[in-house]
Chains A and B, each alone.
Chain A
């Protein structure tokens, strides 16, 4: 029963979806890397919080702050990752600057000018509080104020009327926790954005390679040799591809809060090329040339554009599920087939 044509056809189809999804993943990763998608999302997220129209654009300043500036590969490159501790240090420093007194004294005799800086406080937290005092009312001030209050404890727990005193350590920790929670939301925005890119790439790959699922099912089901070859490839892929597929998917979906290894764009191109070669080696009934030749052979048969459109739409839709999903399905089907065989 398990060596049925239907199961083998399903395995073949899922194998094709898996290979194409991997291709889509690689192209998406290359596209995101070229567009600095992670870096741009991080910039957008920081702008949302730190572009304070009533005071300064602290986000723009954060990008020139050594905390972030030194992390850039070159001046045109956006860093794709900013840790909570770096964020807290940067924000405390930049807001604290508002409380510092920077003056320039000129020596009457020589005319030389020297900078005199009187910090707004003795430590980063005191400077921050001095800077906050000088800030005009705005979202950022409210946020920082609430975190200061959150990190305050009563001077005398027995007598609340004696007031509260904020703890620098607790404030910093609260700021970092807030940032981590915010970045979790940003991860969600980023993943949604990646999904849209994956969808567009799936359509492009489907159209460029002309992958018509209906025709594929028909061709594979009617051709036992092709089917057997595909099942063999599927079994091989399950053995070796698990780790690779997972790594690619992880890199693609990592958000600006997660540090990911820097993947060379040339390596990505090589990976795409290898993927295309692998698909080509299967000699599948896909592609516009194949379509042209095939239709020329069977001149009498009318081209069913409706069926082709439906078949391609099904492929594009299937590819949006992503390589990990199709790999899981493939693994289950191959295991089912092996279990059936051994029993």
Chain B
């Protein structure tokens, strides 16, 4: 049985601006550490420090991989933990518009570096093209997706990656054409959906950016009500970390799915481990419940979620196991790890999935890492074998 890891990253810190680390070590810390890590002769002492200081120790492996390896090496390191023939959805990320400075390797360069890995491992490396609606106009983005996912073009990209917390709503007007093409061709979309991760850095955020302007002129009432809630009210003193959560809110996808009901969409991380732990009051569902009860339903037959990163916490495995007993949800959960972000956790990649696999049992494991993944990844441009 072939394993499909549907959620991995292989970019190194050359592709990430200094502000990339801001969500991990604070904005000022990220700027300082980011700059210092660019100084090659400082990397070793700094890595040593990060490795030994109690409050930074957690990030040591992440920083070490990010700073000292090429993308091919990160990929090879990842693959070495899995049986031969395992396929990896490699998610590219466009950091060019997160206002965190210029990365040495901009997004175009990152794509070229990913292509190099794809050329070395054409069977197993399944790259996802990151789309940021601010990168180009609606028409240009539509044309890009049309071109990239033209079955005759055989570009090698198998899916689309969205990372809304970098500064846009998933119903951004420029994304309409992208969804149109993706739905028509069955192209899988992977969207970041947990409060953890990176977000738009420049504060205060432009008020216009925080406004939920949608390509859907008549979004469902649930979405409109949500946008009237307090957390959507812009205030220049509100932290970006909070404002950017609005971009990630799974409710927003109801507006997208209302127009593109057959869209193949995966809301990554199952809303996040923190959301799974929140005690429920039955009135205000958390992101995990929204995904489970409102998105992974029969009306949206092609919506998925993945357990990437979330699987690192064994206290929430029982939720996933419980959900796998539901016949509808069982078809919608994908295996992914979020390598190399998971290097912050005290497990190797192999330990991470083997622990979880042992707990699930073979049938459930096969369901999420093969059966569901194949259905999710198969499109007009790629047939998952």
Contact of A110 among B14, B39, B385 (CB under 8 A): B385
Task: Report the Cα distance A111→B116, complex, angstroms.
Answer: 21
Nearest chain A residue, comparing its CB with the CB of B125: A113
| Interface residue? B119 (CB, 8 A) | yes
A103 neighbours in B (Cβ, 8 Å): 153-156
State which residues 27-78 of A face B: CB under 8 Å.
34-36, 39-40, 47, 51, 53, 55-57, 60-61, 64, 69, 75-78
Task: Given A56-B112, A104-B118, answer yes or no on A75-B68 (Cβ-Cβ < 8 Å).
Answer: yes
Q: Is the CB of B156 within 8 A of A104?
A: yes
**Do A104 and B104 form a contact, CB below 8 Å, given A39-B40, A57-B109?**
no
Q: Does B105 contact A (CB under 8 A)?
A: yes
A111 is contacted by which of B43, B68, B383 (Cβ under 8 Å)? Answer: B383
Q: Which of A109-123 contact B (CB under 8 A)?
A: 110-117
B348 CB–A CB distance under 8 Å: no
Residue in chain B with minimal CB distance to A75: B68
Contact among B40, B69, B154, B155 for A77, CB-based, below 8 A: B40
Interface residues on A, range: 20 to 34
Question: Which chain A positions have C-beta within 8 A of B385?
Answer: 110-112
Bitwise, B353-379 to A at CB < 8 A (1) or not (0) is 000000000000000000000000000
Residues of B within 8 A of A114 (CB): 122
**Would A75 and B153 be within 8 Å (CB), given that A34-B41, A36-B40, A56-B109 are in contact?**
no
A34-B41, A64-B113, A76-B44 known; A57+B106 contact, CB < 8 A: yes
**B109/A106 in contact, CB under 8 A:** no
Nearest chain B CB to A229's CB is how many angstroms away?
41
B44: A residues at CB distance < 8 A: 76
Among B14, B73, B108, B155, the most chain A Cβ lie within 10 Å of the Cβ of: B108
Chain B: residues with Cβ within 8 Å of the partner, total of 32
A108 CB–B CB distance under 8 Å:
yes
A139 at the interface (CB under 8 A from B): no
User: Is there an interface contact between B69 and A75, defined as CB atoms closer than 8 Å?
Assistant: yes
CB A21 to nearest CB in B, in angstroms, measures 25
Q: Which chain A residues border B41 with CB–CB below 8 Å?
A: 34-36
List the B side residues contacting A77 at CB < 8 Å.
40
CB nearest to B119 among chain A residues: A115
A75 with B70: CB separation less than 8 A = yes
**B180 interface residue (CB < 8 Å to A):** no
In contact, A55 and B122 (Cβ under 8 angstroms): no
Q: Does chain A have a CB within 8 A of B214? A: no
Asked if A97 is at the interface of the complex by the 8 Å CB criterion, the answer is yes
B122 adjacent to A61 (CB under 8 Å): no
Flag whether B86 is at the interface (Cβ < 8 A).
no
Assembly CA distance A35 to B43 (angstroms):
11
A113 touches B123 (CB 8 A): yes
The answer to whether the Cβ of A105 comes within 8 Å of any Cβ in the partner chain is yes
A binding-site residues for B, Cβ under 8 Å: 34-36, 39-40, 47, 51, 53, 55-57, 60-61, 64, 69, 75-78, 97, 102-106, 108, 110-117
Closest 3 CB pairs of A and B: A111-B385, A103-B154, A104-B156
